[in-house]
Amino acid sequence: MSDTLVVNEIYLSLQGESTFAGLPCVFVRLTACNLRCSYCDTAYAFAEDRKQSVSEVLEEVNRLAKPFERARNGSRPAHEGSNKLPLVELTGGEPLLQKGSIPLMKDLCDGGYTVLLETSGAHDISPVDPRVRRIMDLKCPSSGEAARNRWENLRCLKSTDEIKFVIGTVEDYGWARQKIAERRLEAVCPLLFSWVHPLAAAQQDKSLKKVPAGQTPISRQELAEKIIADALPVRFQVQLHKVIWPPEQRGV
């Protein structure tokens, strides 16, 4: 197992998505991704990097978490199952492209952190430490990468994991609704519907896939109203960090 990671950035902010939204979180953004989703807002992580050992990443996480030491050693955070703040999330890029992400997540769990993994769903999630909360995408048609979904991963999911659908078009909504019904996904784990926030000019990387022709964009309000009308068992979410800070701002 590799002891070296290719890291894009490590920073402390608020968790902007998932059922943990709003909680302090240290983000470890790893470099590289083999997908090029049409709505990707972190294309800078495709190549920008620095090499760090697992121990160096742990040291940086612990440094950023130090102001929370009293909470770690004393009272328990309100979120069930947590025994330490801040949370730690591995994101990217695609963390599972790097073998070193596996021992890093284990070491973070051993250190008492609640660890989240943001993954595209295109890679095998079974080697991930079972204590990690895996937030796994199922890529919808407008991503341009729906053919890359690894459906075998559904068998590995636990009730503490989460499935995220990123919805940018009416067709995405219909596809996600169908998959939930066909596979009874509401019985597996929490389901997230995340609206596609339009990319700022600086985020529109030329390597990203185009939205397939003939699809109809869906607004944030339309998505929310469809969820209500269809009584879907999902959590509507916006990217909280894009509400607080400029959508293109990094390190938040």
Query: For residues 84 and 59, what is the distance between their CA atoms, to the nearest angstrom?
Result: 16
Half-sphere exposure of 217 (CA within 13 A, CB side): 9
Of 178, 183, 176, 182, the residue nearest 235 (C-alpha) = 176
Q: Is 240 helix (H, G, I), strand (E, B) or coil?
A: helix
Task: Let me know if 115 is exposed, middle or buried by CB neighbors in 10 A (0-12, 13-18, 19+).
Answer: buried
pLDDT digits (tens, 9 = 90+) for 55-72: 999 999 999 999 998 655
Cβ neighbors of 185 (< 8 A, separation 6 or more) are 154, 163, 179, 191
Give the pLDDT of residue 198.
Answer: 86
Q: With both helix axes pointing from N to C terminus, report the angle between 54-65 and 101-110 in degrees, rounded to the nearest 10.
A: 40
Please give the helix or strand (H or E) that residue 180 lies within, else none: helix 170-183
Query: What is residue 236's predicted lDDT score, i.e. its pLDDT?
Result: 98
Predicted pLDDT of residue 73: 55
Regions of the chain short of the pLDDT cut 70: 1-2, 70-83
pTM here? 0.93
Q: What is the pLDDT of residue 61?
A: 98
